[in-house]
Amino acid sequence: MSTDTMGSAYGRAPAHFNETLAAVGPGTPCGELLRRYWQPVALSDSVQSVPRKVRILGEDLILFRDHRGRAGLLYPRCMHRGTSLYYGRIEPEGIRCCYHGWLFDVQGNCLDQPCEPDHGRHRESARQPWYPVQERYGLVFAYLGPPQKRPVLPAYDNLETLAPGETLWHSYGGFGATGDDSLSVVPYSWLHMNDNVMDPFHVQVLHSTFSTVQFVPQFAVMPQVDFFATEAGVCYSAIRQLPDGRQVDRVSSWLLPNIMSVPDVTLKAGPSSGVSWVVPVDDTHYVQAMVARVPKDAPFRNMLFNGKTWGQMTEAEHRDTPGDFEAQAGQGPITLHSDEHLVTSDRGIMMLRRMLLEQMEVVAAGGDPTGVTFDGDAAVVKVRSGNFYRAKQAVG
Ligand code: FES
Ligand SMILES: [Fe+2]
């Protein structure tokens, strides 16, 4: 066959995504794995005395804070006759349904049935479906898994101690993909961002030499990269020889199943100051929850591209200077895994996907996946990420 007839787009095989990786709903392999870890569902400050709709892992839920300050996450359809608790009213002890006034506390216990004799003689046996929540680092975390498998909510060593003059910065939405707060939900699979974190090579191309310098010029140096497995995920080390003679080793981390710590994108020296979670809303949408230690007098700001935030850019500017959002949205609602041609630079992605698939099997077999712990004393996670500089001669 001559080369001008090979590789034709005509008659190609239908492409498909890997459903085992991509589906996050209840009962799916990856959905069950994700449900074994605490997932951030909102910023604490955003949960007030007004019920909020929350969608996570393909489930619609109602999030609220009672007048005693406790956050609660309930199944939205009232167990009585099914109207939505979105229309409920918050009281000191819980949320009261608008239709016939049943009152539920943050654990779904029914405290009042005002239309019934004695306010419901059997109300103790009524239970609105609920999920446990806990708050840490300014985020509300929920556990959507089997109750008997509920792990300790982990702490992260780089978020535990604030230096004088530091505060915790938070965001919940599309900041990680866009560099600004213009998107509350990102309209494609969480897998795209999850893969992206173990992809140090796109930093040299997409962020540094293809579009414009989106972070710092030093990223235009092609790094020497090593990927290595850790006790609960994958790290990369990307070493660059800088023109001033120094080396910088940029270490980034992915932790099972959807957690990352990306070091400072201006290559500021030192350990990473943040942790983020790529939380699936459903199979084709996600939100990124981010927490970072920042100086009080220099908080995180929306990033500017040619003086504009991502949300202010025109369609032509998005096309001419694509960033993470454009590259990841360009992969479609869920990337077509059967179309991919993974190569040596994708080794980190292959490692993290393999870990996800292995841990799905562990869960399916009744085991506990890597990274969950039931021992409160052991629940501080070590974060290795950072930008580490050395004099060039100090390294072989
Ligand atoms: S439907 Fe909620 S109390 Fe009747
Ligand atoms: Fe990126």
Closest ligand 1 atom to the C-alpha of 81?
1
pLDDT for position 136: 97
Position 348 pLDDT exceeds 80: yes
Q: Residue 316 contacts by C-beta under 8 Å, 6 or more apart in sequence?
A: none
Q: What is the mean pLDDT of residues 354-372?
A: 98
**Dist CA 40 CA 276 (whole Å):** 10
Helices (H), the chain: 19-22, 29-34, 157-160, 175-178, 190-196, 201-204, 315-320, 324-329, 347-364
**Dist CA 232 CA 262 (whole Å):** 16
Is pTM, for the whole model, over 0.85? yes
Distance 83 CA to ligand 1 centre (A): 6
**Pocket perturbation via mutation, ligand 1, pick of 74, 91, 102 by most ligand atoms within 8 A of CB:** 102
pLDDT for position 174: 96
Q: What is the mean pLDDT of residues 188-192?
A: 98
Q: What is the mean pLDDT of residues 101-127?
A: 97
User: pLDDT tens digit string along 92-108?
Assistant: 999 999 999 999 999 99
pLDDT for position 321: 94
Distance 122 CA to ligand 1 centre (A): 15
User: pLDDT tens digit string along 271-321?
Assistant: 999 999 999 999 999 999 999 999 998 767 888 888 899 999 999 999 999
Average pLDDT over all residues of the chain:
95
Position 377 pLDDT exceeds 90: no
Residue nearest to atom 4 of ligand 1 (CA): 100
Position 135 pLDDT exceeds 90: yes
pLDDT for position 392: 66
Closest ligand 1 atom to the C-alpha of 113?
3
pLDDT for position 303: 87
Task: Count CB atoms within 10 A of the CB of residue 167.
Answer: 14
Residues with CB under 6 A from ligand 1: 78, 80-83, 97, 99-102
Distance 274 CA to ligand 2 centre (A): 16
Q: Residue 12 contacts by C-beta under 8 Å, 6 or more apart in sequence?
A: none
Distance 305 CA to ligand 2 centre (A): 14
User: pLDDT tens digit string along 199-246?
Assistant: 999 999 999 999 889 999 999 999 999 999 998 999 999 999 999 899
**Pocket perturbation via mutation, ligand 1, pick of 62, 77, 81, 111 by most ligand atoms within 8 A of CB:** 81
Q: What is the mean pLDDT of residues 16-28?
A: 98
Structure token pair of residue 122: 């059997």
Q: Which of 70-84, 299-313, 369-383 has the highest mean pLDDT?
A: 70-84
Residue nearest to atom 1 of ligand 1 (CA): 81
**Pocket perturbation via mutation, ligand 1, pick of 74, 77, 80 by most ligand atoms within 8 A of CB:** 80
Position 145 pLDDT exceeds 60: yes
Distance 90 CA to ligand 1 centre (A): 15
**Pocket perturbation via mutation, ligand 1, pick of 77, 86, 99 by most ligand atoms within 8 A of CB:** 99
**Three state DSSP letters for the chain:** CCCCCCCCCCCCCCCCCCHHHHCCCCCCHHHHHHCCCCEEEEEHHHCCCCCEEEEECCEEEEEEECCCCCEEEECCECCCCCCEHHHCEEECCEEECCCCCCEECCCCEEEECCCCHHHCCCHHHCECCEECEEEECCEEEECCCCHHHCCCCCEEHHHHCCCCCEEEEEEEECHHHHCCCCCCCECCCHHHHHHHCCCCHHHHHHHHHHCCCCCCHHHHCCCEEEEEEECCEEEEEEEEECCCCEEEEEEEEEECCCEEECCCCCCCCEECCEEEEEEEEECCEEEEEEEEEEECCCCCCCCCECCECHHHCCHHHHHHCCCHHHHHHCCCCCCCHHHCCCCHHHHHHHHHHHHHHHHHHHHHCCCCCCCCCCCHHHCEECCCCEEEEEEHHHCC
Structure token pair of residue 296: 């009080």
Distance 46 CA to ligand 1 centre (A): 26
pLDDT for position 62: 98
Position 354 pLDDT exceeds 50: yes
Confidence of residue 1 (pLDDT cuts 50, 70, 90): low
pLDDT for position 302: 87
pLDDT for position 144: 98
User: pLDDT tens digit string along 23-69?
Assistant: 999 999 999 999 999 999 999 999 999 999 999 999 999 999 999 99
pLDDT for position 396: 46
pLDDT for position 393: 59
